Amino acid sequence: MSRADGFDAVVVGSGPNGLVAAVTLAEAGRRVLLLEAAGRFGGGLRTEELTLPGFRHDVCATVLALAVASPAFRGLHLDRPGADPGTGRAGVEWAHAPVAAAHPLDGQPAVVVHRDLERTARELGKDAAAWRATVGAAVRAGDPLVDTFLAPLSPPRAPLAAARFGAAAALPAAVLGRTLFRTERGRAVLAGMAAHSMLDLRSPITSGYGLLLAVLAHHVGWPMAAGGSQTVADALVARLVANGGEVVSGHPVQDLKELPPARSVLLDLTPRQVLDVAGDRLPPRYRRRLSRFRYGPGVFKLDWALSGPVPWRDPSVGLAGTVHLGGTLEEIMLSEAEVAAGRHPARPYVLLTQPTVADPTRAPEGRHVLWAYCHVPNGSARDMTDAIEAQIERFAPGFRDLVLARHALGPAALQARNANLVGGDIGGGEASLAQFARRPRYSPHPWATPVPGLYICSSSTPPGGGVHGMGGLQAARLALRRD
């Protein structure tokens, strides 16, 4: 924190939103200081040898479809060779598995979501027309439709397509699944996608999360970053430094009073930490609003080092970057309803990824890494290892024989690594309809706080959780306009 001529902006927290905000400000000519509590930059974009030497695991985010699709990341062109102007290094490389996602079912072939929309629809048989009419229509609308949902408070770029899509998206996945699809397979695949929302599937807008992810599978794929998600954070930090930004890690900010003077302060923090660091400066009404902000369920995450590929009963599942384990719509509904009610499901819905299928460099030759989590009540201390592994064994008998090492992160361990993961909530707050509109408050500019020059840019602002950098982009643009 030494810059003699001071800073125009200080960004607290280096998750994807903090990094995008810092780069946006620095590229607009502002003198930026970035402060990060952890020993490394990246927040949700971290890669570590969690199990054994040579096995590189994404600690948090790994499937970066939202990053590829988002206007914030598209505008940065991180994937262009030489994208890093400071070092001239090659940019981020997106690694695609042969198949975006698979959803195994008992006693029948898995549902496979290919990059190719038509092939996916065809394989859904009686549900082909439904897939084309909803997912297909949105894919045809392309970037303008995706942008409309990732920048929900900006004028819609594709109003008609968005209105059509929005009508289906508003419904609970439990309702849309049963009315749109005629087969167990169509219903299950929607449920697997919608359950990313961490909501009870009887809640409004859960279809929206599911449909948007399905659209992205065809529109941009569901890639990972070659070498691990950390490479995306590293590219953003390099871009920031090349534009004159100063970066400090291992520096938890306890109070805004510690910060050097700056016209703008952008907090890549959730409301609970905003109250901790800025509480005494905020008007009582805004403080009350932040203290009422709701956090969603937590996750229990496992990473494995494996001696070989997972022995899926249906070999097509072995080609998928992401696998949704949980069976039918009814089973997944039950699992998510249990979590919403504060209980631990006996057969949890498990979101699993196979990073080495897309990017073999993450493990020694012939070996594999595997990443999975299930939802648990916020703050849960229950070890879900057996329940998660039982769901894998259900569709891949013999899986446990391949395990060389495993590493678990429950809610408390996740929060200890990153204070934003309150009670293990990975979305920066519940993704419900109420909180989609009030994130963290009703306002055309929810990134601004009532304190001039103080902004929130984290996933606790629109559009919410995921690696898309849109909270950071919007907060930085607002700061550039106002300060």
Ligand X SMILES: Cc1cc2nc3c(=O)[nH]c(=O)nc-3n(C[C@H](O)[C@H](O)[C@H](O)COP(=O)(O)OP(=O)(O)OC[C@H]3O[C@@H](n4cnc5c(N)ncnc54)[C@H](O)[C@@H]3O)c2cc1C
Could you list the residues that contact ligand X (CB under 6 A)?
12-18, 35-38, 43-44, 60-63, 66, 252-253, 268-269, 273, 277, 299, 301, 373, 414, 418-421, 426, 428, 458-459, 465-467, 471
Query: Could you tell me the smallest distance in angstroms from the CB atom of residue 286 to ligand X?
Result: 19
Contact 172, 204 (CB under 8 A): yes
Residue 482 CB, nearest approach to ligand X (Å): 21
Least Å distance, CB 219 to ligand X, is 15
Q: Which one-letter amino acid corresponds to residue 219?
A: H
- Whose Cβ is closer to ligand X: residue 187's or residue 335's? 335
Minimum Å gap between C-beta 374 and ligand X is: 11
Tokens of 239: 């871009």
**Nearest distance in Å: CB 475, ligand X:** 10
Give the nearer residue to ligand X in terms of CB position, either 44 or 348. 44
Q: How far is the CB of 301 from ligand X (least distance, A)?
A: 5
Least Å distance, CB 66 to ligand X, is 5
Can you tell me the distance from the alpha carbon of 170 to that of 212, in angstroms, rounded to the nearest whole number? 12
Taking the complex as a whole, how short is the minimal distance between the CB of residue 409 and ligand X, in angstroms?
A: 7
Which is closer to ligand X, CB of 96 or CB of 202?
Answer: 96
Rounded distance between C-alpha atoms, residue 273 and residue 278, angstroms: 8
Shortest distance in whole angstroms from residue 7 CB to ligand X:
15
Residue 105 or 277: which CB sits closer to ligand X? 277
Q: How far is the CB of 239 from ligand X (least distance, A)?
A: 16
CB 52 within 8 A of CB 404: yes
Cβ closer to ligand X: 43 or 186?
A: 43
Burial class (CB in 10 A: 0-12, 13-18, 19+), 295: buried
Comparing CB distances to ligand X, the nearer of 135 and 426 is 426
Q: What value, to the nearest 5°, has the Cα angle with vertex 398 and ends 392 and 402?
A: 90
Shortest Cβ distance from residue 200 to ligand X (Å)?
20
Report, in angstroms and rounded to the nearest whole number, the Rg of the chain calculated over CA atoms: 21
